[in-house]
């Protein structure tokens, strides 16, 4: 069943309060595999936005979202980058977007030991996040592994680490592939990226990045979803709306 945006906000308004995440995931055991979609009867998709190397691009994102304050994203900044522009990321969180763990140093996990992987993800949660936001990283939490290292060639060390840390391994089913264009923001590349990420269907998890190209297609992407009766929600909302609990 598809819902209008008005209907969506009528039944999901509870999510938009200041404490909408509190107690959402409870103490249940998280899955130990990378998630690329969630089976749900709600008209939800979840687009994660990764990296955040350039504060000006993150500020551009915030400006774009002023025109659509009801839509919230899950964002996955690199910890050391987040530390370097803490005020910007505090503004992202204050705007209602959910912060996920993308490792401290954008770690390329292939071939890395379990100890090395654990160190990078733990530094994000135990040092970077508390320093920036003045509070503990939420548990259960959500993490995204850099460099697309999840479902295609699942790294057992990564799976073990995130499971032990009580973090969801939030991967994706659809990608804009903006990284495949050398970052050139032109009409051809915008069409290419929008076509790729525009294939999201109900329950899908997607990925874009804090890049000028992905920010350029963001308004059109949200319009595309709305036209098809879909709404982007943060990962914990999508998970809570899963069909089989």
> What percentage of the chain carries pLDDT values higher than 90?
76
Which band of pLDDT confidence, cut at 50, 70 and 90, is reported for residue 153? low
Query: Residue 7 contacts by C-beta under 8 Å, 6 or more apart in sequence?
Result: none
Mean pLDDT of 38-54: 97
CA 87 – CA 91 distance, rounded (Å): 6
CA 189 – CA 193 distance, rounded (Å): 6
pLDDT beyond 50 at 31: yes
Whether 187 contacts 220, CB under 8 Å = no
pLDDT beyond 50 at 19: no
Pairing type for strands 44-51 and 74-77 reads parallel
Pairing type for strands 167-169 and 141-143 reads parallel
Mean pLDDT lowest among 19-28, 66-75, 152-161: 19-28
Which band of pLDDT confidence, cut at 50, 70 and 90, is reported for residue 89? very high
What is the number of other CB atoms lying within 10 angstroms of the CB of residue 43? Answer: 21
pLDDT beyond 60 at 110: yes
Q: Residue 111 to residues 63, 74, 144, 171, 239: CA-CA distances in angstroms?
A: 39, 28, 17, 19, 30
């Amino acid at each position: 069943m598809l819902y209008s945006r008005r209907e969506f906000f009528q039944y999901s308004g509870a999510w938009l309060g200041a404490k909408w995440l509190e107690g959402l995931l409870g103490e249940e055991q998280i899955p130990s595999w990378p998630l690329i979609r969630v089976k749900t009867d709600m008209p939800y998709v979840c687009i994660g936005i990764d990296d955040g190397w350039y504060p000006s691009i993150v500020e551009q994102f915030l400006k774009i979202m002023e025109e659509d304050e009801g839509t919230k994203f899950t964002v996955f900044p690199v910890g050391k980058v987040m530390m370097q522009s803490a005020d910007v990321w505090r503004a992202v969180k204050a705007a209602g977007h959910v912060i996920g763990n993308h490792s401290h140093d954008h770690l390329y996990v292939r071939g890395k030991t379990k100890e090395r992987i654990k160190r990078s993800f733990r530094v994000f949660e135990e040092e970077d996040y508390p320093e920036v936001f003045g509070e503990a990283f939420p548990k259960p939490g959500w993490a995204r592994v850099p460099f697309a290292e999840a479902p295609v060639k699942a790294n057992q060390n990564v799976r073990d680490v995130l499971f032990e840390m009580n973090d969801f391994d939030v991967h994706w089913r659809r990608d804009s592939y903006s990284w495949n264009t050398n970052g050139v923001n032109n009409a051809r590349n915008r069409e290419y990226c929008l076509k790729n990420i525009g294939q999201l269907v109900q329950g899908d998890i997607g990925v874009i990045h804090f890049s000028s190209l992905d920010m350029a297609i963001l308004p059109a992407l949200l319009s595309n979803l709305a036209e098809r009766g879909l709404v982007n929600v943060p990962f914990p909302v999508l998970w809570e709306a899963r069909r089989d609990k």
